[in-house]
Structure formats: structure tokens, C-alpha cells
């Protein structure tokens, strides 16, 4: 690994990785977890456009038309966002662009005939560049106002556990990209996004409007359609309907219990998203009172 090859093929990955982490973390200071996950639904679109721009995949207007539904859904979700903040929105969009660029460059690095290497080896090379960029940003932005009390408040074990999970995540990401593609990686995050939105509503009481639900549902539908296609999706729906009917014949009582449970979970999720708005307003008023 020469210095010229490192600067040309490895360092840019660490550079964009660092920028995506910085912008992504900054967005959490301004936006809710649920809204951030809704915006992340556009990552496949960003990856697709970046792969075209870098010449990793040939452009296709049909593919662009298929993913346009995702963009429309996220635009609707953005309009319906209750706590919209332009600064946080810009941070998140920049983070998505940097992340898409990084993923496509990792895919090109792992699959290129010139730079083809093992996923763990590639992580070994570009992780130091990312660490250097993050350290420089931290020295300017965070270190001057940070003290050991902040570290102890979070917990050293919590920080170590967070670092271990982040390392395992990066290892799994490079392995998945090496076996498939960067676009498949982003499509696999659909279930994670749904779970995070639901957890944000039920655990932290993040308010989500009905328009936002509709827009996010439209974006997720576009993701599923893009991944499976019309024929395969139709086959899955027929199989699911048939198995659901067979389950109702074999265990009618259990089917009623499952149906009731899903209805209750949906109602709780809706109430969890709508109720806290008034609570937050009362809390803010109480802080203002003498």
C-alpha cells in the first residue's frame, strides 16, 4: 500500500465517513429520532445517484422512476413534521450525501480489480483516516467545552459498549457490501427504520402527525416495491394471505389474539406520537413561570 494509492483510494472513504458521522450526530441535536429515520429513507436514492455519478452503475431512467416514490413520500413526511428545524434538516441531508458517497466508494474498493481486498483489510486501512478527521473536528468543536464530568455522566462502560457496537456495525457493513452492493445495504435498513420510529414514539413520546405517517408509509412502500418488484411482491402477498387464512383455520383463537394485539400496538403508537405535544407545552410553561 503506497502513499499515493492510500491518498487516492483509501483516505477519501475515511474523509466522507467522518463527515457523515459529524453531520449525522449534529442532526440529533435539532431533530427528533423519528424524523431523522424518515429522512434516512432517502438513502437508497442518494446511493443510486452517487453510483451513477461515480460510474459504479449505469444510469437507468426506469430505476429512477421507481425510487421517485420514496422521494415524494419523504417530502410529504417533511411537510408534516411538527418540530421542523432547517439547521438540523441541512445537517441530515449533508450526512446522507456523505454516507452515500462513502458506501459507493467502499463498494468500488472491494469490487475493483485494481484495489480488490478483504473487507476487514479495507476497514483496517480507512478507519485511521476517519479517526483522524473526527479527532480534528472534536478538538475544535467539543473538547474546549467538555470535561470529565460529561464523560462520567454518560458512563465509561456505556461509551465502551457504544464503541464496540459501532465497530461490529462497521465490520458487518463492509462484509455485506463486499457480498452484495451498497444499495442492498441501504434497503436492508427498512426494518430498522420502522422499529426506530416506533420506539421513538413509544419510549420518548416523539409526536408524529398523520401527514407524516402517510408520507413515511409512502416512502417505505416505494422501498419495498423497488427491492422486490411488482411480480415478486404480488407473489409474497398471495403467500402471506394464504398462510394467514390457514393460521385462522388451525388456531382461530390465537389469530384473534394476534389481531387484537396488533390493533392495540397501533393505537398505543398513535397515542404515543400525538399525546406528548400538550405535555411538552405544559413543561415549557412550567419552566417559564417564576
Same domain assignment for residues 124 and 194: yes
Helix, strand, coil proportions of the chain in percent (round to 5)? Answer: 85, 0, 15
What share of the chain has pLDDT > 90, as a percent? 4
Of 182 and 81, the one with more pLDDT: 81
Same domain assignment for residues 166 and 287: no
Grid cell, residue 52, equals: 451513477
Same domain assignment for residues 65 and 146: yes
In a domain, 4, yes or no: no
Instruction: Answer positive or negative: Cα dihedral of 24, 30, 34, 38.
Output: negative
* Secondary structure class of 148 (helix, strand, coil): helix
C-alpha–C-alpha distance, residues 53 and 60, integer Å: 12
In a domain, 149, yes or no: yes
Q: Report in angstroms the alpha-carbon separations of 8 from 5, 21, 56, 280.
A: 5, 21, 16, 50
* Secondary structure class of 228 (helix, strand, coil): helix
Same domain assignment for residues 100 and 135: yes
C-alpha–C-alpha distance, residues 80 and 36, integer Å: 13
Of 35 and 162, the one with more pLDDT: 162
Number of compact structural domains in the chain: 2
Same domain assignment for residues 151 and 235: no
Cα atoms in the Cβ-side hemisphere of radius 13 Å centred on 200: 18
Q: Give the pLDDT of residue 284.
A: 40
Q: Report in angstroms the alpha-carbon separations of 274 from 33, 110, 208, 215.
A: 15, 45, 6, 16
Q: Report in angstroms the alpha-carbon separations of 149 from 162, 171, 276.
A: 18, 31, 31
In a domain, 154, yes or no: yes
Same domain assignment for residues 70 and 203: yes
Full residue range of the structural domain in which residue 271 is found? 230-290
C-alpha–C-alpha distance, residues 102 and 18, integer Å: 10
Give the helix ranges, DSSP H, for 28-118: 33-39, 43-53, 61-79, 86-111
Domain-terminating residue out of 228, 246, 271: 228
Of 103 and 177, the one with more pLDDT: 103
Same domain assignment for residues 207 and 262: no
Does the pLDDT at position 154 exceed 60?
A: yes
Does the pLDDT at position 220 exceed 80?
A: no
16-22: average pLDDT: 88
Residue range 35-70, pLDDT digits in tens: 787 787 777 778 888 888 887 777 777 777 777 777
Q: Which of 28-37, 89-98, 102-111, 270-279 has the highest mean pLDDT?
A: 89-98
Mean of the per-residue pLDDT values for the chain?
75
Same domain assignment for residues 203 and 247: no
Same domain assignment for residues 38 and 113: yes
Same domain assignment for residues 146 and 246: no
8 Å CB contact between 105 and 12: yes
In a domain, 252, yes or no: yes
In a domain, 1, yes or no: no
Same domain assignment for residues 256 and 127: no
91-95: average pLDDT: 91
1-13: average pLDDT: 77
Same domain assignment for residues 130 and 108: yes
Does the pLDDT at position 273 exceed 50?
A: no
Amino acid at each position: 500500500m503506497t502513499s499515493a494509492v492510500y491518498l487516492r483510494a483509501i483516505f477519501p472513504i475515511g474523509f466522507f465517513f467522518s463527515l457523515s458521522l459529524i453531520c449525522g450526530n449534529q442532526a440529533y441535536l435539532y431533530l427528533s429520532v423519528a424524523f431523522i429515520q424518515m429522512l434516512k429513507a432517502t438513502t437508497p436514492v442518494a446511493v443510486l445517484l452517487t453510483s451513477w455519478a461515480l460510474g459504479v452503475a449505469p444510469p437507468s431512467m426506469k430505476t429512477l422512476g421507481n425510487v421517485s416514490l420514496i422521494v415524494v413520500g419523504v417530502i410529504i413526511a417533511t411537510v408534516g413534521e411538527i418540530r421542523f428545524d432547517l439547521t438540523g434538516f441541512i445537517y441530515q441531508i449533508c450526512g446522507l450525501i456523505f454516507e452515500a458517497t462513502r458506501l459507493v466508494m467502499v463498494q468500488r474498493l472491494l469490487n475493483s480489480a485494481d484495489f480488490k481486498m478483504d473487507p476487514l483489510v479495507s476497514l483496517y486501512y480507512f478507519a485511521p483516516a476517519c479517526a483522524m478527521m473526527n479527532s480534528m473536528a472534536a478538538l475544535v468543536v467539543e473538547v474546549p467545552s467538555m470535561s470529565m464530568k460529561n464523560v462520567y455522566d454518560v458512563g465509561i462502560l456505556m461509551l465502551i459498549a457504544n464503541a464496540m457496537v459501532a465497530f461490529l456495525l462497521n465490520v458487518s457493513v463492509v462484509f455485506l457490501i463486499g457480498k452484495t452492493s451498497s444499495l442492498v445495504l441501504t434497503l436492508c435498513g427498512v426494518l430498522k427504520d420502522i422499529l426506530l420510529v416506533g420506539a421513538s414514539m413509544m419510549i420518548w413520546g416523539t409526536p408524529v402527525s398523520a401527514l407524516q405517517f402517510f408520507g413515511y408509509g409512502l416512502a417505505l412502500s416505494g422501498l419495498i416495491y423497488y427491492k422486490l418488484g411488482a411480480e415478486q411482491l404480488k407473489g409474497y402477498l398471495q403467500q402471506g394471505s394464504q398462510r394467514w387464512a390457514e393460521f385462522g383455520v388451525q388456531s382461530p383463537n390465537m389469530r384473534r389474539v394476534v389481531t387484537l394485539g396488533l390493533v392495540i400496538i397501533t393505537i398505543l403508537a398513535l397515542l404515543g406520537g400525538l399525546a406528548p405535544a400538550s405535555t411538552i407545552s405544559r413543561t415549557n410553561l412550567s419552566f417559564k413561570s417564576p
